[in-house]
Chains A and B, each alone.
Chain A
Amino acid sequence: MAGITSDEYIHHHLTYWTVGNGGFWTLHLDTLLVSVALGLLFFFSFWVVARKASSGVPGKWQNFVEIAVTFVDSQVKETFHGKNRMVAPMALTIFVWVWLMNFMDMIPVDLFPRIAAWIAMPFGANPEHVYLRVVGTNDLNMTFAMSFSVFALMIFYSFKVKGVRGYGREILFHPFNHWGFMPVNLMLRIVEDLAKPISLSLRLFGNMYAGELLFVLIALLLAQFTHGATGVALGILGIICGFAWTVFHLLIITIQAFIFMMLSVVYLSMAHESHDMH
C-alpha cells in the first residue's frame, strides 16, 4: 500500500477483475469465480451428507446440514402454501450461497487482493493493476442476476398456476375491478412487480457495499500505525472499529441472506396465490 494515496487504495478495492470490451460484453471474473467456487463449496459440503444421508444417528456435519435444511424448510412451509418442489431447494441455495458470498466480507480486505497480486506478478502483471473483489454480493450483476431470476420464476409460475387468462385478469382488474381502470391497473402492476426484484437486489447490494467500504476505511485507519503518535492512536481506533464492525457485520450478512431468501419465497408464494380467492 506504500506509495499510493487513500483515494487510490479505495479505488483499487472497488475495481473488478474484468475481461471484455469494457461495455456490456465485460465479464467480472472475480465475482464469477468466487461465486462458482462458493457455490461448489456449498454444493459439495451438502452433497457429502445427501449422498449417504442416513436415518440413523447423524454425525456432526450431517447434523449441521440438517439444521440448515430444517430451518429453511420450516420457513418455506410457513410462507409458501403452493405445491412446488423447486421453492425450498431454491431458498436453501439462496440462503447458503448468499451467506457464503457475504462472508467473504469477513476476510481481511487486503488478503485476497494481495495473494492475487503475488500470484500474478511472475506472469508479468503490474501488481497495481491486479484487481480482485471477493465479495460476490457486492456486485450489482450478482444481486440482479439472482433477483431477476426470482422475478422470471415469478412470471413463469404466475402463468403456470393461473393460466394466461387468470394472470391477465389479475393484472388488468386488480386493484380496481372495472374495465375503465385497465390501463391504470396495468401501470400499477408493472411498477409493483418491477419494484420487487429491484428492491430485493439493491437491498443486499447496498448493505454489502457499505460493509465492504467500511472495512476498506478501517484498513486505512490501521495503515496509520507508522505515522507517529497520532498514527498509533488512529491505528488503535482502527482495531476497535474493525472488531466492532466485524461483529456487527456478521449479524448483517446473516440477516441479509435470510431476507433475500424469505422475500424470494414470499414473491413466489404470491405468484402461486390467486387474488380471486381473497
Chain B
Amino acid sequence: MLRNIVKNITAKSLRAVGKNNGLPPSLSHQRSLASVSKTELALKAEKVKVTFVLKDGKRLETEAKVGDTLLDVVVNNDLNIEGYGACEGTLTCSTCHVFLKQSDYDRLPEEPCDEERDMLDLAYGLTDTSRLGCQITLTKDLDGLEIQVPETINDARN
C-alpha cells in the first residue's frame, strides 16, 4: 500500500513518507540533529515567517526553514496545535488540515494530488482552499504566510 502511495504522489510527499514513517519521535529527532548535510546547512540560512491562526483567534507566529513542510514547522517549533499530524505526514489522516487564503492557495507550486484530496474529503469544514499542512513545502516566496487552522473540537455526527 505504501508503495502505491509512493508511486503516485509527488517527490515532495515521498520525502515526507520516507522521513517520518515508522520512526518514533525520539529517533526522528536524533536524525534531524545527526544528519546535517551541506544543502541543509545552506537552507538553514533561509528562514521565512509563518503564522498559524487558530479558531479562537490565537495567533502562533514562528520562524520556519525554507524546505520544511507546515507539519515540520508545527513539530519542530512545538506549536500547540492539538492532535496535529497524527500520521506524521504519510497522507493517511487529515489532522493537519489547514485553510489558506485564495491568493496563497493559487500561488502554491503544486496542486493537491489525488491522495491528498482523498484525505481532505474526510476533513471537517472542507473548503476550496483547504490543504493538508504536510503537503505544503515552504519556499522563500511564501514568507509571511498566514494559515487558518480549523476547529478540531467538532463532531460530524451531531
A and B interact: no
A interface with B by C-beta (< 8 Å): none
B interface with A by C-beta (< 8 Å): none
